[in-house]
Structure 1
Amino acid sequence: MPSIYTLTLTTLVSLSTAYSLPPNLHSRQALSDLKTGSWLLTWTPSMPNPQTYKGPLRITSNSSSLYISADLYNGTTNPDPADGSPILSRENYWAFVRPTKLSSTSNGGFDLGLEFYKYKGTPNPFNHYTDWESEPWEGGLSASLSASTAPAGFPSDTSYFSGNVTFAGNGSAAGTLSMGWVSDYVRRYTVEIGGVAGLERPLADASGTRTWKSIFADALIDMSLESGVDVPDQPNGIWDTAQAHAAMLQYRRPTNFDRVWRIYLLMVKKDRDVARGAMMDGKRDSNDPVPREAAVIANEWLIGTNADGSPDTQHAWPASVVGKPFVSLHDAWFRTAVHEVGHFFNLGHPAEFQNGLMDDTQTYVDAGEQGLTSKKFPENIDARALAFTGWERHFMAHRPDTHVRPGWIDFGAAAQDETPPVVLDLLA
């Protein structure tokens, strides 16, 4: 199986919001009803198991590829389709769903091969790698779905499918399955921006055209923005990570991560532990058992210096910007805020320069000097620098909830392996 790092941009470059059938697939008319975005998936197993499983199913596509992934949760909670992509309790997570085959049927529906990979938890408290069953539950399932009228509450009466599920191995009954479209977006998050009074908040690029909403919409993420309260400054205006984390816990809105995926962004003048900004709680500890909740941005960090104020001699910062406060380079500063939130999806820095949002700022300084961008820093912070790459958008859409929702597993390599297996192109 190829590494998720080596999936080609040819395959992943476009996660468009409309699905058009390739020329050789005109006979698959039912597939054109599989709208991009989020669906509410419900599986009711055959007796004697009385449990019903629900969760988000995500579809991204373009003219030549189609990807589907889903997560199933047990429990009695019934998500409201009007809310959009379902958010369910972490303790009820049951399995990651990977479809393996998709074909249209004569009744206007389609058949879907399914693999359920059961989640076994995070057995090692020091690295929080997730533990999954290595083989699909019961060897896999087959679902035969046809168009149905959506129950009350769904935003579309026609984008709804239901049918029977059988075990792939012997064809015996495995229950019923339904999926109803709920949103153009595959996932939904909220960023709350608070900080020291009087400091500018990062709301958009200098042109006003690249906003939190538009940048994340390119990745089919529904991003909402909330204004947080003002936070008292440190006496000398210089913070450290522990102080920033304490301020987050005290001043952030009450947050239940089983109901809302909220990320808190704290704006300060300077932080002695980081230069421009950073996630402040990538890993859980004894003081706070919830990881990936918040990041800090230092508006008055002096460009071309290290966090302690000493000159940064590792990168060729242009003399024209050295010594200026970070906020004065508006687009680079705004981009850093969005970049840090990208880490909450468990996206790391690329191993090589990609000219995208998850390259860090000093990499753009180096890229300009090395001729990897047509302009030097800060002019190379353009629209492309404010966009996620195709691979990043794919990761954000199709890795399990465990990996990308805030407040669950730690940041880092634990989310970058191939367990459970990556999703397949169902039109390949």
Structure 2
Amino acid sequence: MPVLPEEFLIDDADPADDMPRFERATSNVNLSAAAASATRFPVAVAQPWRLRSLKHGAYFLQWQPKSSPFTRYNGTMRIERHGTATTASGDLYSHNAFTFTSWPSFRLVPNPDPSPSAGIPIFSRSRYKYYLRVTQILQWLTLSNSFTLQFERYAFDSTTNNWTNDGLHSAVMTFKSAPAGYPSGATYLEGTLMSPANVDLGTIRMGWVSDYLRKATIEIDRVSQSDYPAGNGAGETWSTVFDAVDWDVNVYQSDTNLTEPSGESWSDAEMHSAMLARRDSANLDSEWRYHLLCVRRLDSTSRGIMYDAYGGDSNNIPREGAGISSHWVIPSTSQWGTVQGMQFGDATGPYFRTAVHELGHALGLYHNTADNGFMNTTGTIAASPGTFPANIQWSFNAADAKRLRHMPDPWVRPGMIPFGSAYGSAPISDEDALDLNGPLGLRVEPLLDSVPIGAPVRVKVTLTNHSDSPIEVPDSLSLKSEHVSGRIVDPAATVRSFRSIMKCIEEHQHEVLKPGASISSDMTLLRGRDGALFPAPGLHKIIVDVSWEMNGMAVRVSGEDSVMVTHVEDEAHAVAAKAALTEPDLLLTLAIGGDHLEEGNRALDKAMDSPVLSPHFAVLKAKQVGRRFGKRKGNAAEAMKVLGDAPVISSSEARRIAELAKGADKAALKKSCSKALASTLKTAANGDRMVAALADSVG
């Protein structure tokens, strides 16, 4: 623990308090030398300060909307403390504050919330509403009575299994005494939830209920000839495995004499049918229950399978069950080390490892070959360096452990999102992606070192393969590719995110980037979900992330640079900047254009009226003029005239201008284009033959 400043001294006046208190010591106390030497602690003259932190574990979370007293949202917040850092995430389910009693009274009575004393609450799957991706929270210790909580709120569509980011919400959370019903010494906080537009959304409360982050039950049934996978025989058990990822898991053996329906080998459908017939409970709205079936042999694979997916899921409730084979015979080859030739159930460690592996699939995890952890395959581990099974890693890979702690409830709890969805389809912290910085480099280069306030910022991103091997990467770094996102950090350290508002219909393609090769693209940044990205003067950091999937794994590479935003220069600039910063439709005008975006087009016209901003918006206006819309024909010559002499233009934008001019009357184009513009286009061409040809023809 870091050494505390000398002016803070421990006050032991309240030994029952589980948090130490600190007092600020005075420097003006007049003590004799003898008294000073005999005094253990200086005399304090200030009020005691309490050192506070967030306790690791699950918190009962509640949001009471200001606009709806009849509906509130209950859920859990998961606080993971690791060292001096904290990672947090949460889920919310709708809850009717009142309910009607049954016939004949039909009275409206309060609908009670879950009792905090019962530990981690479980909610009905059909009432799931939001995932909270926490972006700011108290990391370690504070002497304050409050801290700022920020999170992106993702709304879940259970029909499509899609998520919508509702923006960055925040609350100043204040430590308070826990109400009755909470465990003794529970950490409890309240605050006012504010929307991305800084509107009061009501009260948010969170109180600690468990040392664990999640809880579940695993029922294990088996045929009489199959072994029960209790552990690895060397200290690792179900409890130690799941304690390590903060899951409170109750694992028990139920039936031990299942009847084999068609001999010793089971089909996926037979296992699913046995689960439905023999399991002890089936209410997934009151319990997260998974089922493991141990049989002699499997039809579809050798060692194990999470059968409750695709065609094997006869009741359309995914990821409830898995099965393992006890009578598979391990090959008698050297790669299988000390267990070669053994019946699988007799190889205690590998057999237990496979049971955990298949349950991992039921929890929404995929194969992970990054290490020899649980989600790697047994065959791959056996073929890796070291002697099998001593080379097994008895833990989940760090990325998988984080997924178990912080993926949205619908991803990990049974009966919700089906198996097979890409990790990237769910909101998840950036740290969940495999970081490829090093083998790959992402260079972020603003076109200009400084821009006037209200102007868009043009950025070039270049992805380079620095490794000695080819790497599969996205074939486009455009914001329209869905692979690119990022954040802007302003001078006040406020973070605003951006990503494409458009989705290409065609499937995104990858390409193999050879060693030393690069791909580049340009982007124009103006607004994001949180509003204007550059709303104030000062130095802004631009962070760009490129994310994609490679061999079933989420991967990511990041880069950053900075740009200076300068102050307002005159009244016309002030009017234009205000319109550019406050009009949401200007982003749509930038991205897709169109005469129908009246408010966005008015803001664009105001920007064009400002001599300061017009060079920065000229390309956007030129594209609007040069494109056909409805019955209005595009006018390439007029578009060239709109550009003026020295527009701020990226290479990609110059290419689009050249495409607009293709097929237009050359004489009209030349008449509309100054020599200065031709020179600007030639500079922006950057090797593009079409742009260079246009510059030559009009120069």
TM-score normalised according to structure 2 size:
0.50
Deviation, 1:241, is 1.5
**8 Å CA contact 1:100, 1:424 repeated in 2:** no
Deviations 1:301-327 (A, max 9, x none): 11129xxxxxxxxx9644864442101
Letter in 2 for 1:118: A
User: Equivalent residue for 1:54?
Assistant: 74
Deviation, 1:144, is 1.6
**8 Å CA contact 2:192, 2:204 repeated in 1:** yes
Partner Cα distance (1:65, 1:82) in 2: 27
Partner Cα distance (1:424, 1:57) in 2: 19
**8 Å CA contact 1:159, 1:180 repeated in 2:** yes
User: Equivalent residue for 1:117?
Assistant: 154
Tell me the secondary structure at the aligned position of residue 254 of structure 2: strand
Partner Cα distance (2:4, 2:371) in 1: 32
**8 Å CA contact 1:147, 1:161 repeated in 2:** yes
Tell me the secondary structure at the aligned position of residue 239 of structure 2: helix
Distance 1:105 1:353, change over 3 A: closer
Can you give the 5+ residue segments of structure 2 that lack an aligned partner in the other structure? Answer: 9-21, 23-48, 97-111, 433-494, 496-699
User: Equivalent residue for 1:378?
Assistant: 389
Letter in 1 for 2:241: I
Letter in 2 for 1:330: T
Tell me the secondary structure at the aligned position of residue 411 of structure 2: helix
User: Equivalent residue for 2:36?
Assistant: none
- 1:332 maps to 2:359: no
Residues 179-258 of structure 1 aligned to structure 2 (within 5 Å):
179-207=206-234, 209-229=235-255, 230-234=257-261, 236-258=263-285
Residues 75-224 of structure 1 aligned to structure 2 (within 5 Å):
75-76=95-96, 78-102=113-137, 107-123=144-160, 130-133=161-164, 135-136=165-166, 139-170=167-198, 172-207=199-234, 209-224=235-250
User: Equivalent residue for 2:330?
Assistant: 303
**8 Å CA contact 1:196, 1:267 repeated in 2:** yes
Tell me the secondary structure at the aligned position of residue 292 of structure 2: strand
Deviation, 1:254, is 2.3
Deviation, 1:166, is 2.4
Partner Cα distance (1:52, 1:319) in 2: 57
Residues 350-389 of structure 1 aligned to structure 2 (within 5 Å):
350=368, 352-367=369-384, 371=385, 375-381=386-392, 385-389=393-397
**8 Å CA contact 1:282, 1:291 repeated in 2:** yes
Partner Cα distance (2:249, 2:3) in 1: 31
Distance 1:50 1:241, change over 3 A: same
Tell me the secondary structure at the aligned position of residue 74 of structure 1: strand
Deviation, 1:80, is 2.4
Deviation, 1:154, is 1.2
Of all paired residues, the percent bearing the same amino acid is 33
User: Equivalent residue for 1:420?
Assistant: 427
With 56-65 and 414-423 compared, the bigger mean Cα shift is at 414-423
Structure of greater relative contact order (alpha carbons < 8 Å, 6+ residues apart): 1
Deviations 1:18-38 (A, max 9, x none): xx78999x9999885211110
Partner Cα distance (2:338, 2:194) in 1: 67
- 1:344 maps to 2:344: no
Tell me the secondary structure at the aligned position of residue 405 of structure 2: helix
Partner Cα distance (1:63, 1:380) in 2: 28
**8 Å CA contact 1:346, 1:415 repeated in 2:** no
Aligned residues: 375
Deviation, 1:155, is 1.2
**8 Å CA contact 1:151, 1:157 repeated in 2:** no
Deviation, 1:251, is 0.5
Partner Cα distance (1:23, 1:329) in 2: 52
Can you give the 5+ residue segments of structure 1 that lack an aligned partner in the other structure? Answer: 1-19, 124-129, 306-314
Partner Cα distance (1:30, 1:282) in 2: 52
- 1:396 maps to 2:404: yes
More helix by share: 2
Partner Cα distance (1:424, 1:330) in 2: 34
Partner Cα distance (1:407, 1:186) in 2: 19
Deviation, 1:39, is 0.4
**8 Å CA contact 1:239, 1:271 repeated in 2:** yes
Which of the numbers 400, 404, 411 marks the counterpart of 2:419?
Answer: 411
Distance 1:197 1:395, change over 3 A: same
> Higher Cα Rg: structure 1 or 2?
2
Deviation, 1:148, is 1.5
User: Equivalent residue for 1:11?
Assistant: none
Partner Cα distance (2:4, 2:66) in 1: 39
Deviation, 1:410, is 1.0
User: Equivalent residue for 2:467?
Assistant: none
Tell me the secondary structure at the aligned position of residue 362 of structure 2: helix
